[in-house]
């Protein structure tokens, strides 16, 4: 069984969706550890209440390289095969990414390469796009830029606010993240340049 390391910074609803699929057997994996870089992350409570290993590794005030070395050590300690960023709001250093080559996934609330970075749903509304969505991608050294595993489209409604749009995108995030993890841990893909080809 492949071992997942889930990194969060806050609410942790993507983590919960993954944990639900692991618990039901829909996702054949184990959650080895949930790590938050913020002490007040609600997802940490959820992890504890599910009886999972929950680790708080505060990043505040720490140099990126120093923090990332601690983070990598914690993940290795739990023998993690795949790192899943689930609302982990920190850039990772090149050194960290080299520790887990093609073994880090991220979920982002837009159809990348549109609207990378913070407040993707706000960016989508401000730009006036009619369709946005979410993306699960491998993490490389550039922000929100690695090879794309799965995307889901979400139409923007005229009366959408950031909240209503975010809520509909989040439903799709919860669906595609587990699907993407399933494909990656089963090894049913190959990476060809920027393209992830399912095999
Ligand atoms: C999700 O919408 C996720 O896509 C986004 O943060 C939210 C976390 O929610 N991530 C990013 O914007 C990364 N650039 P959650 O803590 O409930 O999973």
Atom of ligand 1 nearest to the CA of 17: 18
Phi-psi region of 184 (alpha: psi -120 to 50; beta: other; left: phi over 0): alpha
Atom of ligand 1 nearest to the CA of 9: 16
Mutate to test the pocket of ligand 1, among 8, 14, 115 (most ligand atoms within 8 A of CB): 14
Per-domain residue ranges of the chain: 1-101, 107-199
CA distance 174 to 21: 10
Per residue in 136-158, pLDDT tens?
999 998 889 999 999 999 999 99
CA 58-63-66 angle, to 5 degrees, is: 80
Per residue in 150-186, pLDDT tens?
999 999 999 999 999 999 999 999 999 999 999 999 9
What lines the ligand 1 site, CB under 6 Å? Answer: 8, 10-14, 86-87, 107-109, 120, 170, 173
What per-residue confidence (pLDDT) applies to 98? 94
What per-residue confidence (pLDDT) applies to 7? 98
Average pLDDT for 37-52? 96
CATH code of the domain occupying 1-101: 3.40.50.170
Does 108 participate in catalysis according to the annotation? yes
SS3 45: helix
Per residue in 54-112, pLDDT tens?
999 999 999 999 999 999 999 999 999 999 999 999 999 999 999 999 999 999 999 99
CA distance 27 to 48: 20
What per-residue confidence (pLDDT) applies to 143? 87
Average pLDDT for 110-129? 98
What per-residue confidence (pLDDT) applies to 17? 98
Q: Among residues 76, 78, 108, 137, which one is catalytic? A: 108
What per-residue confidence (pLDDT) applies to 150? 98
Which residue has its alpha carbon closest to ligand 1 atom 2?
109
- Same fold for the domain at 1-101 and the one at 107-199? yes
Atom of ligand 1 nearest to the CA of 89: 13
Across the chain, the runs of DSSP E, i.e. the strands, are: 2-8, 29-36, 54-56, 82-85, 104-108, 131-138, 148-155, 189-192, 195-198
Average pLDDT for 43-64? 96
Selected from 3.30.70.20, 3.30.590.10, 3.50.30.30, 3.40.50.170, the CATH number assigned to the domain covering 107-199 reads: 3.40.50.170
The residue among 78, 79, 16 whose CA lies nearest residue 48 is 16
């Amino acid at each position: 069984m492949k071992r997942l390391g889930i990194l969060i910074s806050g609410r942790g609803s993507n983590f919960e969706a993954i944990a639900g699929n692991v618990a039901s057997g829909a996702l054949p994996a184990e959650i080895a550890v949930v790590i938050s870089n913020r002490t007040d992350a609600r997802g940490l409570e959820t992890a504890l209440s599910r009886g999972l290993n929950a680790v708080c590794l505060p990043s505040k005030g720490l140099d990126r390289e120093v923090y990332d070395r601690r983070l990598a050590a914690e993940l290795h300690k739990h023998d993690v095969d795949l790192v899943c960023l689930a609302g982990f709001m920190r850039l990772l250093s090149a050194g960290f990414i080299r520790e887990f080559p093609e073994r880090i996934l991220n979920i982002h609330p837009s159809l990348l390469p549109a609207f990378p970075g913070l407040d993707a749903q706000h960016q989508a509304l401000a730009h006036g796009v009619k369709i946005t969505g979410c993306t699960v991608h491998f993490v490389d050294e550039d922000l929100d830029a690695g090879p794309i595993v799965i995307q889901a489209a979400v139409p923007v409604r005229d009366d959408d606010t950031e909240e209503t749009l975010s809520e509909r995108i989040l439903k799709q995030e919860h669906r595609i993240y587990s699907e993407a993890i399933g494909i990656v841990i089963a090894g049913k893909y190959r990476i060809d340049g920027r393209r992830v080809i399912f095999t």
